[in-house]
Amino acid sequence: MRDPTSFLRTEYDELVHADLDWKLRLLAGPSTPWSIVDGKKVLMFCSNNYLGLSNHPAVKEAAMEAIRTHGAGSGSVRPIAGNMDLHMELERRLAQFKGAEASLVYQTGFAANSGLIPQLVGEGDLVVSDELNHGSIIDGVRLSRAERAVYKHADPGDLERVLDASEQHSPAYRRILIITDGVFSMDGDIAPLDKVSALGATHGAMVYVDDAHGEGVLGEGGRGIVSHFHLSRDQVQVEMGTFSKAFGVVGGHVSGSRDLVNFAYNKSRTWLLSGSAPPAVAAACLAAVDVLEHETDHVRRLWEHTRRFKRAMADLGFDIGRSETPITPIIVGESSVAKRLSQRLFELGLFALPIVFPMVAKDRARIRTIMNAALTVEDVDFAISAFETAGKELSII
C-alpha cells in the first residue's frame, strides 16, 4: 500500500542534502548575554531580546506573582471566559505607551498579521506590499482574497507608481492597504514610513506597519517607528508589534483607533478562536511596558553598543549592508562561507547564526547579529575580536 506521507521524508532529505535544513541549537537556562548553548558558554549575539528584559527581575517577579494570584492558564478564549483583568490592563497601558486610542493583544505577532490582514481587505481590494516584508505579512495577505501588488524595497517612488496605476483599475478598488515592515529583520534598515504614510494619505489608502523590530529600539523611549517619524494615528492606521523581542516575553498586538480594535476583536479569528495569554505572560508583558517607561538607560545602552559595533566592523572591512538599527548583518556572500564563519565564531565563544538561501539571496548569505543592551562594553569588544580572528582566518577580511 502506498504511504501517503512518504513526501515528508523525501522533502526533508532534500533539504538536508542541500544543507538548507535548520539544525537547532539547545539553550540551557535563560537568554542572557553569556548563555549555555549546546553545553558551551558563549556570548549571545543573535537573540531578539534587545533590551535584556526576558531576565529582568521585575518582569520575572510579575510572572511569578500572576501565577500565585491568577493560576497557570486563563481557561478559555477571551470572548468567552478567558478575558482577565491582566489582559485589559495590559492593553490599556500599552495604548498609553504607544500614544494610541486603543490596543489589542494577540497570542503572537504572527497571529496578529495572519488574523487581521485578511479582515481588513478582501475581494475587490488591493494590498500593496514591500518586496522584503516578513513571512507573516505574506501569509496574511495570501489568506485574504484581495489583489496583490509589490513595490521595490523601501522605494517610495515605486510605491507611488503602483498607487498611481491602481487608480486606473476598473472597477475601482473598494479599499487599498499599504503594508510594510518597520525595521526589516534581515538587513536592519528602516522603512521610510513618513513617505509611505504621505502617499497613503494622497491615495486614500490605509497604512499598516509591522513594527516588531522597532519597538523598544526606535522612537522616544523605544515607543517604535510611528514615534520615530513623529507621525499621527491618522497617518498610520495600524501599528502592529510583538512582545517577543524588545519586551522580552511573547505575544503580538495592534494599536490604533478604538474603531480598529473593536473591529479586530470581533472579526479576527486568530484572536477569537485561540486561548488567551496565560496570566504569567500578560503580567510579564505589563511589567516590561513599565520597565520601558521608567528605565530609559536600556534603550540608550542598546544604541551605544550598536554604534560601537558597527563602527568597528566597518573599520575591519566587513560588509554590514544598509543597516540603521541594532540588527547588523555581516554579509559574506556564499552560504558555505557564512556557515563556516558561524561555526568558527562559536568555537571562539560567540553565538551568531548564519542566514542563508532561501531566506536571503544566494550571493547575500550573512551572519545576522543583534545587539543587546545587557551586554557590557567588554562583551562588545569580545565579539569584535572574535569576528576579526575568524574573518582573517577565513580570508573574509
pLDDT at 78 over 90: yes
Report how far residue 242's alpha carbon sits from residue 319's, in angstroms, rounded to the nearest whole number.
29
User: From its phi and psi, is residue 99 left (phi > 0), alpha (psi between -120 and 50) or beta?
Assistant: left
pTM for the full model? 0.94
pLDDT at residue 45 tops 90: yes
Whether 254 and 331 map to the same domain: the answer is no
| DSSP E strand stretches across the chain | 27-28, 34-37, 40-44, 102-106, 126-130, 147-151, 176-181, 206-210, 238-242, 252-256, 327-333, 350-351, 354-355, 365-370
Q: Report which residue type is found at 282.
A: A
Check pLDDT > 90 for residue 360.
no
pLDDT of residue 20: 78
10 located within any domain: no
Which pLDDT band holds residue 362 (cuts at 50, 70, 90)?
confident
Does residue 152 have an active-site annotation? no
CATH of the domain at 90: 3.40.640.10
Please check whether residues 274 and 301 belong to one and the same domain. Answer: no
For residues 283 and 130, is the Cβ–Cβ distance under 8 A?
A: no
**348 and 317 part of one domain:** yes
102 and 115 together in one domain: yes
Spatial strand order of the sheet with 40-44 comes to 27-28, 34-37, 40-44, 350-351
State yes or no: pLDDT of 172 exceeds 90.
yes
Instruction: Kindly state whether residues 327 and 245 are assigned to the same domain.
Output: no
Active-site choice (35, 114, 144, 185): 185
**Residue 279 CA: distances (Å) to CA of 49, 83, 233:** 21, 10, 30
pLDDT digits (tens, 9 = 90+) for 191-232: 999 999 999 999 999 999 999 999 999 999 999 999 999 999
213 is catalytic: yes
Last residue of a domain, one of 255, 277, 294: 294
- Whether residue 330 sits in one domain with residue 290: no
- Give the orientation angle of helix 109-120 with respect to helix 135-143, to 10 degrees: 30
Query: What confidence tens digit (pLDDT) does each residue in 142-165 have?
Result: 999 999 999 999 999 999 999 999
Catalytic residue among 213, 298, 305, 310: 213
Indicate which CATH number applies to the domain containing 301.
Answer: 3.90.1150.10
Rounded (5°) CA angle 134-137-140:
150
Q: How many domains does the chain have?
A: 2
Mean pLDDT of 288-302: 96
Q: Is residue 6 part of a domain?
A: no
User: Is residue 154 one of the residues assigned to a domain?
Assistant: yes
Residue 211's SS3 state is coil
- How much is the average pLDDT of 102-125? 97
**What is the span of the domain harbouring residue 353?**
18-47+296-393
Same domain, 273 and 178: yes
Per-residue model confidence (pLDDT) at position 193 = 98
One domain for residues 102 and 189: yes
